[in-house]
Structures are given as structure tokens and as C-alpha cells.
Amino acid sequence: MASSDLRKKLTPIRDQLSCGSCTAFGTIGAWEGCLNILRGVLIDLSEQDLFFCSGGGCSIGNEMDPVLNYARDSGVCLEECCPYDGREHKCGEGKCTEWWASGKKLDSWRAITNKEEMKITLNSIPLVGVMEVHQSFMNYQSGVYHSLGWLDPILGGHCISIVGYDDEKEAWLLRNSWGTGWGEDGYCWIKYGDSEIDTCMYEIIPDGEIPPQPNPPTPSPCKVGKTLAKIINFFCWLGHRRGRFFYLNPSEG
């Protein structure tokens, strides 16, 4: 019987509080684990940055594609640069001005729908998972969870990290974002096939590089032209007119 348990290679369990930001927590939980396993980098990324800048809202949640695409295309800052507080925010609100200097981004991501391929991947790295949440899931404490069928109302969709499996238990090991007081210190074994847990999982590949720096103005190589442009701009200012000369080349676009 095959099994995998990556809990010892992950960052501490988080708590998303009362905000519906599970897509960011499920993604970053797996992402931080991948960085530690593949790059040897123990890091704390900002769920708040990822969630709100990918179009999420506390009361409306978010879809997986925008979250994963934003992480790949734009990158995410560190937690210390944009701390999570469980309240509604606009993208970039309170974010460090030079966040990109220590931020991370994904190289790529892909969906996996084959259960054996999910297990093979989980032998090495965690995955991002999605599931239906039944009422009984809220009260899970320990053991292998399974829903109660049509007697067990579905409350909504949820994103978590999948961090292992056990063929003897016939269950996946998931990492939740409801704090350590829920489940088995924040984790849960869930029966194969239950709650749509293995309909689709997402593999993420971190590139280990910082996001690109926003394009700064490029200093002019011509010192004489730079000085002359300053003088001309000074006279424009005296005439209460906006100067149209640049001693720094404007950034493209």
C-alpha cells in the first residue's frame, strides 16, 4: 500500500478568518511547500496580496484560474509586506512599494484529473485542491472524513492544499486554512472520491525568481543634454507652464 505525508515539509497552518479567501490560502499553502521542497527556501507569502489582486472579495470568493494566473504572471509579495487581517481590501492597499525585490512568482501550473497521477505528484510535492463543503465537514475532528450524502447539505466550494495520501486509509490528506483548532491540528484525511475532492487538483511549479521590477525611467547617457533640459524646464516653471522636456527618458508605454 502506497502513501505520502508531506506535513513536516510545510509552513505552519494559517487561519483565513471570516474572509472567503480560501483560494489564496490553498494555493500558497502548496506553493510554500513546493519552495521548501524544491528550492530549500522557507518563506511566508502574502495571501492577502494574492487574493485581492486576483479579483477576490471576502464575500464573493474567487475562481482558481485568476488566482493561479496572477501568481504566474505578476507574482506575490511576502507576508510581512502585505499582512493578512481577514478584512476587505483593494489590490495593493498597504503593500510595500518595492515588494518585487523579495516576492515570488510561479513558472507554470496545470490541472490534473487522473487520480494515479495525483498520487505520483504527491510523492514529491503538495497540490492545490478544490472540494465541496458539506455541513458535517465543519465539525470534523479526526479520522477519515466522509460526507453523509443527501442528508448532508452542501454549503459551498472550498480550496485547500492536498499534502499526501494513504491507500490503506483510502484517503487524501488535506491542509485546511481554518487554524489549528479545526480537525487534526488543521489537517484532515478525506475518503477518496468524497466531496469532489479528486475531480481536479492543480500542480504548481515555482520558478524561484523575483517578479520583474516595474519599468523605471532610464537615465539619459548625455550629461550635457540632461543639464540643458533642467534649465529649460526651470524657465517653463517660471512661466507657469508644464515643461515638455525630459532629462530622464520616459518609461515605455
Residues facing residue 218 across a β-bridge: 249
Q: What is the largest CA-CA distance in the chain?
A: 83
Choice among 19, 22, 81, 82 that is catalytic: 22
Is residue 22 flagged as an active site residue?
yes
**215 to 95, 100, 180: CA distances (angstroms):** 18, 12, 42
Is residue 158 flagged as an active site residue?
yes
**Nearest residue to 171 via CA among 131, 112, 135, 125:** 131
C-beta separation of 125 from 9 below 8 A: no
Is residue 146 flagged as an active site residue?
no
The β-bridge relationship of strands 218-219 and 154-166 is unpaired
Q: CB-hemisphere CA count at 13 Å for 171?
A: 16
What string of H, E and C letters represents the secondary structure of 181-228? CCCECCEEEEECCHHHCCCCEEEEEECCCCCCCCCCCEECCCHHHHHH
Q: Is 66 exposed, middle or buried (0-12, 13-18, 19+ CB in 10 A)?
A: middle
Residues 29, 126: Cα–Cα separation, whole Å: 8
Residues facing residue 156 across a β-bridge: 133
Choice among 36, 77, 158, 159 that is catalytic: 158
**Nearest residue to 118 via CA among 28, 11, 2:** 2
**Residues known to be catalytic:** 22, 158, 176
